[in-house]
Amino acid sequence: MAVSTDVIGRVDMPTQRDVDTTTDRSLPLPPSRDPFLRAPAGFAAHSPGTILRTRPVELALFGLVPQRVSAWQLLYRSSDLHGKPEVAVTTVLLPEGAAPDDGRPLLAFQSAVDAVTDRCAPSYALRRGALAPGSVTQLEWLLVANALRRGWAVTIADHEGPHGNFGAAREPGYRALDGIRAALRFAPLGLRPDTKIAVWGYSGGGMASSWLVEMAPTYAPELAIVGAVLGAPVGDPKHVFLSLNGGLWAGFPAIVIAALHRVYPALAEVVGKEMTDEGRRVLALAERLGPIAVLPLLIGRDIDDYLTRPLAEVLPDLDGMFDDMRLGNSTPTCPLLVIQPVHDQCIDVAGVDGQVDRYRRAGAAVWYLRDRLSEHFSLLPLSTPISLDWLADRLAGKPLETPTTKTVWSVAMGPARLRGLAEMASTALRVTLGLRLVPVSEPLVGEVRELAA
């Protein structure tokens, strides 16, 4: 496997065991085996966001349908939970054949990775030939492609890092912010240092986007972030953990434990001293599979059944971890649109209400939209038009009214939202057929007929 020569500092060349020996050259290596993602010697001496390596990549829907976009991956210097240097990677995108344009805005999209396995990392799951069963990122591509049709550049960082630290505090923000810095420095995108930046994410991606906007004022104050849409952003991870445990979505607490026992010493002690052998087998399953694959296998599982002491007795030992993970303890300075289902079966609306309240009490400008009819999984596609329209207005510098909280029947109601859903359906068809992602004003029918001719 060739390693990019576009490198800052010396590169340690891959050993034979790192080289892809498969006969099908379309199959990318998982991140844990990919020499491109190995930290170059001396990388820690560089400032956060410094590009260490680059490579062009080919994207494909579900790893199968090639996508007509221009895509690269950037390895860059970032920071972990404790502020220690590490490498991170982002996938940056332009519409197919688009020339560098210093007037183009940048969207930072944080995917709902929600997994420990590196096969769900966006840098792998989005590539042609990727084998990523259970990946949410592959589904989200159908929605992110709408931003490219608007002519925006896009950055999708592996915000969970190289070890899949799902739920960890702060570091998703560091990685995503440094991914933005790297994108602004990457010449093929043609972006300026003062490029206007929009932020978007839903569920686990909404949580990561929350960390991005919370960390930005102190970690990356130079970035021109003009607005962020935080969809179902978790709010209070402890409350979500306890409410999902033992129920239909009990796989999520298992994934969190599998991810964070390597990050938080208190949880590591609980797993090491209190977890039964069967519990460790459940964690191994949660580490190995993507969320869509693992959730059906863990329905109804109760962490209590895998501990030698009742969970209620163990929880006080984990209060410090959950306090660290709770969102809303730092204040974003950019305008925020928070969108949340009232009847969310995964993320209790009360937890997100609390996150919004904490932001507002600290002086943040938050527009809060609650949807009565949607549940957790339907709100992401239904809220995509209003999310992109709201971000487009922020990028255009349109004025905002006084921040409000509104509870509506559906965020998809109204002529503008219906037009947006029609455009989204057009985009999904283009993505599924591997067609060019033309600007939203161009018709689809002619190109489909041409394809069928």
Over residues 87-119, the pLDDT tens digits come to 999 999 999 988 888 899 999 999 999 999 999
**Hey, which bits of 288-447 come out as E strands?**
336-341, 366-371, 405-408
DSSP 382-419: HHHHHHHHHHHHHHTT-------EEEES-TT-SHHHHH
Interatomic CA distance for residues 421 and 143, integer angstroms: 11
Edge to edge, the sheet with strand 336-341 lists: 51-56, 69-79, 85-95, 153-157, 106-110, 196-202, 224-231, 336-341, 366-371, 405-408
CATH 3.30.300.30, domain 25-236+326-413, yes or no: no
Nearest to 140 by CA among 61, 219, 197, 218: 61
Q: pLDDT at position 1, please?
A: 38
pTM for this prediction: 0.91
Q: Mean pLDDT lowest for which of 178-187, 211-220, 285-294?
A: 285-294
Q: Does 449 have pLDDT greater than 50?
A: no
What residue segments make up the domains of the chain, in order of their start?
25-236+326-413, 237-325
CB 339 within 8 A of CB 203: no
Interatomic CA distance for residues 359 and 323, integer angstroms: 16
Interatomic CA distance for residues 268 and 177, integer angstroms: 28
How large is the average pLDDT for residues 244-262? 95
Q: Does 286 have pLDDT greater than 70?
A: yes
Q: pLDDT at position 8, please?
A: 53
Over residues 118-141, the pLDDT tens digits come to 999 999 999 999 999 889 999 999
CB 246 within 8 A of CB 231: no
Which fold does the domain 237-325 belong to in CATH? 434 Repressor (Amino-terminal Domain) (1.10.260)
Q: Does 23 have pLDDT greater than 60?
A: no
Q: Does 12 have pLDDT greater than 60?
A: no
Token pair, residue 277, equals: 């052998």
Q: Does 5 have pLDDT greater than 70?
A: no
**Hey, which bits of 183-252 come out as E strands?**
196-202, 224-231
Q: Does 149 have pLDDT greater than 70?
A: yes
Over residues 39-55, the pLDDT tens digits come to 999 999 999 999 999 99
Over residues 338-392, the pLDDT tens digits come to 999 999 999 999 999 999 999 999 999 999 999 999 999 999 999 999 999 999 9
**Hey, which bits of 96-214 come out as E strands?**
106-110, 153-157, 196-202
How large is the average pLDDT for residues 256-266? 95
- Looking up tokens 């102190």 gives 218
* Domains 25-236+326-413 and 237-325 alike in fold: no
